[in-house]
Amino acid sequence: MIKNLYEPEAHYLPLAIRDIPPLNDKEYVEQYYGDHQVQPYCLPPVRHTQKRVVYWVVEYEPLLDSSDMTFDDWIRIAKDIRKSYHEYDGFVVLHGTDTLAYTASALSFMMENLGKPVVLTGAQIPVAEVRSDGRENLIGALIVAANFDIPEVTVYFNNKLLRGNRCTKLDNSGLAAFDSPNMNPLASMDISINIKYESIFRSGNISHFRVQDNLCRNVSILRIFPSISIECVSFTFLY
């Protein structure tokens, strides 16, 4: 952290969560994966679920501040998921909060015929801090991705699972940073895990999963407000 701001640090997260008991059951990993050259991580047993959640962490190089991400980074994430699509039950993308909603929305339209959960999450306070929402957000995202049939790109934050292309960041300083205006969460983590299956989108065909990476980059947003002049609108489209 510099000047009271957080910055990405290579290899920080994989090393940190290795030693955080709620994120990694070391005894289980050693018992069942001790002979693996690259050992996974494993959540402790989770109440109301049937599976042990075993997961691997892939860290990008270089690590980016999310405010520096571009179309090319969205394409990279989508292609990496496609590459490993048949090897895992679900995917969790750890992302900075500044542009997390943009990435979630982009991936939701790029991933066609998606049949597995893709959950984006992040943190207002990093996982290794004494006070951190990062641990709970990561645990919740892993539980959703591993246990539930939710074949959408979603955002998990502050005990809520939100549709990826319907959420936005509303608060820079609070832990409930994301919400979906005019749409209820797809799931909530309360004492019980409540999934609203009737709200979950499911593909109407059985076509193979594919990634649409031919993206138009010449798109802008014109916000209309009372008394906007014709000249302003014309300037936007002509120049």
How far is 37 from 81, CA to CA, in rounded Å? 22
Phi/psi at 233 (nearest 5 deg)? -65, -45
97 is catalytic: yes
End-to-end C-alpha distance for the chain, whole angstroms: 41
Residues 6 or more apart whose Cβ sits within 8 Å of residue 121: 92, 93, 94, 95, 137, 138, 140, 141, 155, 156, 157
Beta-carbon contacts of residue 232 (< 8 Å; ≥ 6 apart): none
The answer to whether 97 is annotated as binding is yes
User: How many other CB atoms sit within 10 Å of the CB of residue 43?
Assistant: 22
Provide the β-strand partners of residue 94: 121
Beta bridge partners of 121: 94
Please give the torsion angle defined by the CA atoms of residues 82, 83, 86 and 91, in that order, rounded to the nearest 10 degrees. Answer: -60
98 is in an annotated binding site: yes
Please name the residue ranges forming H helices in the chain.
Answer: 12-18, 26-33, 71-83, 100-110, 134-147, 230-238
The whole-angstrom separation of Cα 29 and Cα 33 is 5
CA atoms of 112 and 48, how far apart (whole Å): 31
Q: Is 67 annotated as a binding residue?
A: no
Determine if the peptide bond prior to 62 is cis (ω within 30°): yes
Query: Which residue of the set 97, 99, 103, 154 is catalytic?
Result: 97
Q: Write out the catalytic residue numbers.
A: 97
Positions at the binding site:
66, 97-98
Residues making up the annotated binding site for substrate are: 66, 97-98
